Amino acid sequence: VRPNPGTAAPGPEQYPATLVEACRQGERAALAKLFQAEAPYLERVLSRIVGGSSDLEDLLQLTLEAAIHAFPSFRGEASVRTWLTRIAVRTAMRHLRHPAQKRRVPFEVIEGGQSAISASRPQHEAEARARLRVLYGHLDALDDKHRTAFVLFQVEGRSMEEVAALMDTNLSTTKSRVMWARRKLFARLSKDPAARAWLAEYGGEAP
Amino acid sequence: MRATMCAEIEDLIERETLGWSEAERLRVEQHLNECDACRETLAISRFVRDTLLEAAGELPESSRSRAIRNALSMEKKDKKRSVYAPRRWLGAGVATLTLAAAAALIVFFVSRDSEVASTTVKPTPHKTTPAAASEAQRIAQNAAIPAQPAAEHADEWFETSAPEQRQLAHAQVDFAESTRARFHADRRLLELAQGRVEVDVETAQGESFSVQTDHFRVEVLGTQFTVTPDSVSVTRGRVQVFGRDGSVLARELAAGGQYRYSATTVAEAAARVASKRHMNDRDEAKPSDAKPSDTKPSDTKPSAAKKSAGAWLAEARAALSRGDGKTTRELVSAAEKSASPTRAERAEAKTLRAEAALLERDQLGALRLYREVAQQYAELSAGDNAAFAAAQLAKRADPTHERELLQSYLGRFPNGRFRDEAKQRLSRLGEATPTR
């Protein structure tokens, strides 16, 4: 058994109360400062859920617009990052709901953008991209709610309770969504010859 | 006992990202030594997680700054507007349409007996019952298609679990996975309920072939095109797209072109027709000395009213489908000047300019615009479409560049929607071109 790689979700950022209050008041400088700090994290969440980056800029813009509009009602019960993540999740799910907007363009098309692939293991870049293409091909077959719950739980390392809160639903529904997403995805992957070759590296049976 | 143990281990595997205690780790290790199925589950779980962890993409700094700037400028210009408000309205509209479509589908499938029993590929010929024939007649009337008498003819049902190719009348149809459709051989009509079909119609037959969805009907004489319930993309030739009420939604869709059904566009078109009727009624009631300009509908001219880029583009699409290139360009200009259009909207605006140029037979102008879209918006599906459209157009407008454009398309979009067509065309060009 390999060591647990740990969770992917970063800890919440703490911002001075004055900055948050200025954002509530709609002060552009404060909003710009907060958005600059949070944008990279939101981009990572959005890109993991939608599985491609062709619309990432638009999705980020929509998330920030929604945040600006909703800021006056932000009560500070959750951290700013959690609150923004919730908006980003809704934006991504709305995007996934439209089949016509499902993106087929793989990651390499972002010119000048960064992805964890090239940063972490440049020698395996091509293979990593191929794996992503195959995996997102199967994720496309999942319902948007199942897919989002699965990614937030399995990859972002959020607890079921957090996923339920981010998706505005209850705990049992969330558990059910994650379970069905796993079953469907795993069943598809186990039948995919391309995926089987990679699964052998993780202790699965060789093709 | 074993099943209970596997369920426990599966639960632990699911929670691996949250961390295992030492006791849990030992239990998993021990179980994996004797259970292949759980070992497989753990392998898949880790493969998925590791792969998705690598998927985190970040924008270039310039794109990020632009998104933040646009969001902030939107807030400044339109502080009172709720970002969710129009979507809430749209959501209600879409929900209503979905309910209507669901009701229609229930009725639509009444004529389908219990023949679709499994999910395997199966054309299921069956005789039309009197009730089904009457239902088919009603559907045909709704779709403004001349209804056939309730004749004895065979309808074929298709429900695929894997891609499948079939010859239907004079068309070769590729059914994508999870597609459900019914073919009426007598009318050469394929009704698509779900999924995607790619259709290649044999020109030589000189007979029409139609594909109909809940939203529209595509009619062709000879061409190759792809239909989903919400869109049509043309690979070769030209098609016309009609609404369910018989209205023309796209007068002439050329190779590389795409029509996408939008509830908003259709609702706006209906609202415009209603508004036009209302104005005509009002003008008829006016004294006869009214100036001609008073009766001119203002809805096709960009006004100073604040409208989103999306709304302008919806009107531009409608103008294009009416065949009005000049108004299309005016509406596109208004969209470009509106508050903070997104990149996708800017790409669509330029694509509409290209299509307007094509409509006015300015092929070189259209080619230039398509190439610009392909270069500037390569990361969007609009870029993919435009790159292939440019290559298709080059066949007529600038044949010397066709090969170069096709190669450029494949280089830029190795997994693009038209890669197979581009490869086929290149291979044909290769055969036709003498070796020097």
Mean pLDDT of A70-83: 85
pLDDT at res. A98:
65
Give B211's strand partners: B190, B218
| Element at B165 (helix H, strand E) | strand B164-168
Q: From CA B216, how far away is CA B324, in angstroms rounded?
A: 21
Cα atoms in the 13 Å half-sphere on the side-chain side of A45: 32
Residue whose tokens read 């999924």:
B195
Specify the residue for token string 């700013």: A80
Instruction: Note the pLDDT of residue B185.
Output: 81
Chain B neighbors of A111, CB-CB under 8 A? 60, 378-379
Give the distance, in angstroms, between the CA of residue A207 and the centroid of all CA atoms in the same chain.
Answer: 30
Asked if B46 has any chain A CB less than 8 Å from its own CB, the reply is yes
Chain segment A171-195, per-residue pLDDT in tens: 889 988 988 888 888 888 888 887 8
Tallying the residues shown for chain B, one arrives at 436
If you compute the radius of gyration of chain A from its CA atoms, what whole number of angstroms results? 18
Q: What is the DSSP letter of B110?
A: T
Answer whether B316's CB lies under 8 Å from B352's CB.
yes
> What is the distance between the alpha carbons of residues B400 and B420, in angstroms, rounded to a whole number?
21
How open is the CA angle A100-A45-A195, to the nearest 5 degrees? 70
Residue B360, Cβ density class (10 Å: 0-12 exposed, 13-18 middle, ≥19 buried): middle
Please answer whether residues B394 and B401 qualify as being in contact, where contact means their C-beta atoms are separated by less than 8 angstroms.
Answer: yes
How buried is B24 (Cβ within 10 angstroms: 0-12 exposed, 13-18 middle, 19+ buried)?
middle
User: B20 — contact with chain A (CB < 8 Å)?
Assistant: yes
Find the helix or strand (DSSP H, E) in which B115 lies.
none
Shortest Cα–Cα distance, A23 to chain B (Å): 12
Residues A128-178 pLDDT 10s: 777 887 888 888 888 888 989 988 888 777 888 888 988 888 988 998 898
Q: Could you tell me which residues come within 8 angstroms of residue B208 by beta carbon, excluding any fewer than 6 positions away?
A: B188, B219, B220, B221
The answer to whether residues B107 and B132 touch, using CB atoms and an 8 Å cutoff, is no
Q: Is the pTM of this model over 0.80?
A: no
For the residues A95-115, what does the mean pLDDT come to?
47
Name the CA dihedral angle for A31, A32, A34, A37, rounded to a multiple of 10 degrees.
170
The CA distance from B54 to A44, in Å, is 10
Which candidate in A134, A182, A202 is best for mutational testing of the B interface (most B CBs within 10 A)? A202
How many other C-beta atoms can be found within 10 angstroms of the C-beta atom of residue B94? 17
CB contact under 8 A, A31 and B228: no
What's the confidence (pLDDT) of residue A63? 92
Q: Do A65 and B71 touch (CB under 8 A)?
A: yes
* B233: chain A residues, CB-CB within 8 Å: none
Question: Measured between alpha carbons, how far apart are the two ends of chain B, in Å?
Answer: 74
Average pLDDT, chain A: 76
Separation CA A70–CA A58 (nearest Å): 18
Please give the Cα distance from B247 to B314 (Å, whole number).
17
Residue-wise pLDDT for B314-369, tens only, equals 888 777 766 778 888 888 888 888 877 888 888 888 888 888 887 777 777 888 88
* Structure confidence by residue, pLDDT tens digits, B112-161: 433 333 322 333 333 333 433 333 333 233 333 333 333 334 577 888 87
Alpha-carbon distance of B389 to B402, in angstroms, equals 11
Give the residues of chain B that fall short of pLDDT 50: 77-91, 107-153, 273, 277, 280-305, 431-436
In B117-198, alpha helices (H): 130-142
